[in-house]
Chain A
Amino acid sequence: MLELEGLSRRFGSVTALDDLSFDVPAGQVVGFLGPNGAGKTTTMRAIFGLTDLQSGSVRWKGRQVGQDERRRFGYMPEERGLYPAMRVGEQIEYLGRLHGLNGTEAVTAADACLERMEITRYRESKVETLSHGNQQRVQLAAALVHDPELLVLDEPLSGLDPAGIEDIGQVLVEQARAGCCVLFSSHQLDQVEDLCERVTIIDHGRLVVSGSVEELATSGARRLVVRIEGERTADWARQLPGVSVSEISGGAVRLVLDSKVDSDEVLRAAMRVGKVTEFSFDRRRLSEVFREALAGEPSHEVLV
């Protein structure tokens, strides 16, 4: 388990991390969310000692993280980093060796990794000649070559086509199933929802919410999806007390109900407008969790 405690980092007058603490349990894929500038990248760099912290500690299995621990971590930075003119296979081997594999192990591990990422045919190519998607695969292979105990990925899915997202997502899930800690940041919330068992949301360098996707989806106010024939707006619902409109898409109105609201009242109000074709409760979506968390409503809501 990775434990971050009280991380603080200031760049001049800008506060990047403000007493940030959260855990990443083993065997789960954890999504790391937050708007631009929330401090996600700084947090990830802090795990690898790539940024000086004013205060706070990073612990792995209860021990302060040092070079020996980091050797067993895998990192994929946001702005990809590989030697442009070096051959793919040698590059992966080299990084394997820097993570403690010996020469022969590194060759074997690199072969296995390239196979797994389906880029074996590019083994002798230079990285700069590959497409963006394939470079991304090489980058992930570089983070995986030494079979890390912790995998930290900064925006691993950005700029990939659906097949690439599917493949890389699959690898992350497999890795977690094998007992690895996986922490990855993303802007695409629907992908996070599909992949993650847990999410951690931060803003302005502070923790906003952290919990399992299941709990976050079922907790909080009830969600109601109502579709009325011929009605494209949600004006009728806005007048109801304790009801707010979360989203309107394709004629379906997504409502958030206060705990005091009786859903029968809502149904009756809807039937007065027209013929109700859909009326169902739904789970809270991650995008709603994200939006509501950042809106500051449940700012102290930390679910474990």
Chain B
Amino acid sequence: MKREEVGEVERAENEKQLVEFPDEHKERLLMSGVDLSGKERSGSFIQKDTQILLALARHAGLEVMPIAEALETHEWLAEYFWKAVPADADAYTKATHREKEVKGVFVRAKRGVKIPFPVQACFFIASEHTAQKVHNIIIAEEDAELHLITGCATPEKFGSAVHIGVSEFYVGKNAKMSFAMIHNWSSDVGVRPRSAAIVEENGTFISNYVCMEPAKSIQMYPSALLVGENALATFQSILYGRGNAKIDVGSKAVLAAKGSRAEIISRAVATENAEITARGEIVGNSAGVKGHLECRGLLLSSSAKIHAIPALRASHSDVELSHEAAVGKIAEEEVRYLMARGLSEEEATSFIIRGFLSIDIKGLPPKLASQVQKMVQLSAEKLL
């Protein structure tokens, strides 16, 4: 067969797999913000285990490609590879670096192009004992606007697997990029995302992370390096730990240019034997920078644990950094208040937890924000 013919066969095979995606898996992906129909999405990327089933851009000025193909197409891309995330950062980045056949997605919004709908990227693990290692590069060039929603999931009843995802985000001058990542893992999956963003002058980077399902262990510490004046970064995380989940999630912002700002917000709920460590770090080393860290935790069982570890580091006299952290159980008084309006004790408790988890999702297009919010609420309803 000729090369094109091989490509054709492969495409047909991938399409068949997409069509034959079982309904229960589709459901699971929907809960992670991924709609296989591609409705109201400007682009889609679907990877199952180690196989890329779809990479599709539906808007002029938008590129969505398997990363290997992008590296062949764009010579300059090599420069962006392992620039925000160092290859030798830890065992997981090293393992990804060693991969011969690099998988993952490349997304680029070209200069000045505002992509109307979000681009969705899906990393689904369907086969047990898979080690899914991906390397993603996301670029919003000067004056561009790009919204990305990433859903990572396994089937609900599932054995062990590992997901390692290196993601590098490059936000150009005056560009805006938002990134919503929703995880729906099963209880025996280890998850190690390694991501970092570099934000240039007047650029905005917004990251929203939602994890409502009980992975065995999640550890991540995404960071944003603000190198351009007046750049802005926001990190929001909503974490719900149950079972024996160990979740260690933090966000870090380095305010390295004049007037740059960052906000890090997290909400953590721990029940059963879950242990959540919610970290946050803001480094201010330029004039007129501002940063705020807010970290709230709710403990629902006496064997659950939450560690809130906020850190501020200032090395310039003209910086304004602040943090608030609060961890506790549900206030009895709040439960009473709701009972006095007609809710049973149980209903009142879940009402309060759902409220606690419903932070305003900032920076996303309103429709996407309400979708993310709805997914949080749906997961909460399922749990409570």
Report if A and B associate in a common complex: no
